[in-house]
Amino acid sequence: MDIARVKHVCGLYPDLEGVTAPQRLIAAGDVDAIVIATPVKSHYPLAKASLLAGKHTFVEKPMATSSEECEELIDIAERNGLVLAVDHTFLYSAPVRKIVEIVQAGDLGEIRYINSRRLNLGLFQKDVNVAWDLAPHDISIILHILGEFPVAINCQGNAHVTPQVEDVTNMSLFFPHKRFATIQSSWLEPRKIRDMTIVGSRRMIVYDDLQTHEKIRIYDVRVDRPPHYDTFAEFQYSYHYGDSYIPHIQQEEPLKMECQHFIDCIGQGTAPETDGRQGLELVRILEAASRSLKANGAPVTFSKSRDVMSFAEPEAREFAPEAVSA
């Protein structure tokens, strides 16, 4: 919609035709697929118009501003046999694929917790808070690594600069079997930080996305309790300090891989790895985070049909797996 940007892009790619009205693109008969990379509030109306016009559609994260909107988009795509993909970029990145491979091979043992930080100064968004802007990356990676939906979530934060738009948030996701993940998101941090620690019972991984070459480091460290002891003197934790190593990763541009995958799915009539349902799961978590934020960090549990607010006491925060609904 910004004519200066349209001119700039058309200058870089002279074969492209630039338009400022999305409807012209949506109505074009020679266009098979549309990518929607606009502010979050416009994802739903643009994606809906695109799908209703029979176009395969690729939507930026987060897919929409509510789970109802996501469900409607999924329904239109399914009824019309169209590919609906959502940009969860990091699931196409080589380091995240490597981490998932290591976890699935059982090298880390049981995953105990994941801690993720995505911090920097700006870029302030006006239509969504920092959790909706930055945490989708962390949430999509964490769900992919753990392979399941959380049973509950809580989120705390504050709006310091723009009223009502939180610029700092701390989110916790609780999974079955006492596993949990914490996500810190900020637009108010002096340093740019993009890191994730995955703590397993046998090994641990530190993933620093800002490193050029050594993005993943695997630590062969753990702590064991003695299997049994008779006196307090016999009780000793055993700390294991082994080597740390850096697996080789073939760098590829995730967005390029993802775009190619979208095109392949259209050609083969298959569902994308990051489809509308994954977009919906992520938006359900963000909605629950917003409800928790409004309730000063009270936990929100997930039920089958919709999220249910629960004000559990902190010490009673043991979430039964049967409460889960993905």
Ligand X SMILES: NC(=O)c1ccc[n+]([C@@H]2O[C@H](COP(=O)([O-])OP(=O)(O)OC[C@H]3O[C@@H](n4cnc5c(N)ncnc54)[C@H](O)[C@@H]3O)[C@@H](O)[C@H]2O)c1
Q: How far is the CB of 148 from ligand X (least distance, A)?
A: 23
Helix axes 43-52, 67-79, angle to 10 degrees: 10
Q: How far is the CB of 313 from ligand X (least distance, A)?
A: 36
CB of 42 or CB of 197, closer to ligand X: 42
Write out the residues near ligand X by the rule CB under 6 A. Answer: 1-2, 5, 22, 37-40, 42, 46, 60-61, 87, 89
CB-facing half-sphere around the CA of 260: CA atoms within 13 A: 7
Q: How far is the CB of 282 from ligand X (least distance, A)?
A: 12
Q: How far is the CB of 61 from ligand X (least distance, A)?
A: 5
Q: How far is the CB of 129 from ligand X (least distance, A)?
A: 12
Q: How far is the CB of 117 from ligand X (least distance, A)?
A: 16
Q: What are the CA-CA distances from residue 255 to residues 2, 138, 226 (Å)? A: 23, 16, 47
CB of 117 or CB of 217, closer to ligand X: 117
Measured at the CA of 167, the angle between CA 91 and CA 48, to 5 degrees, comes to 55
Distance CA 153, CA 155 (A): 7
Strands (E), the chain: 33-36, 56-59, 84-86, 111-121, 152-158, 168-174, 180-186, 188-200, 204-208, 216-224, 238-245, 300-302, 307-309
Q: How far is the CB of 90 from ligand X (least distance, A)?
A: 8
- Residue with token string 């019972």: 201
Distance CA 217, CA 208 (A): 8
Distance CA 268, CA 81 (A): 12
CB of 26 or CB of 168, closer to ligand X: 26
CB of 125 or CB of 310, closer to ligand X: 125
Q: How far is the CB of 87 from ligand X (least distance, A)?
A: 5
CB of 87 or CB of 281, closer to ligand X: 87
CB of 91 or CB of 114, closer to ligand X: 91
The DSSP-derived string for 23-45 is: HHHHH-TT--EEEE-S-GGGHHH
What is the CB neighbour count within 10 angstroms for residue 73?
25
Measured at the CA of 57, the angle between CA 22 and CA 304, to 5 degrees, comes to 120
Q: Please tell me what DSSP assigns to residue 244.
A: E
What is the CB neighbour count within 10 angstroms for residue 56?
23
> Which pair of structure tokens corresponds to residue 153?
């979530």
CB of 46 or CB of 282, closer to ligand X: 46
CB of 167 or CB of 302, closer to ligand X: 167
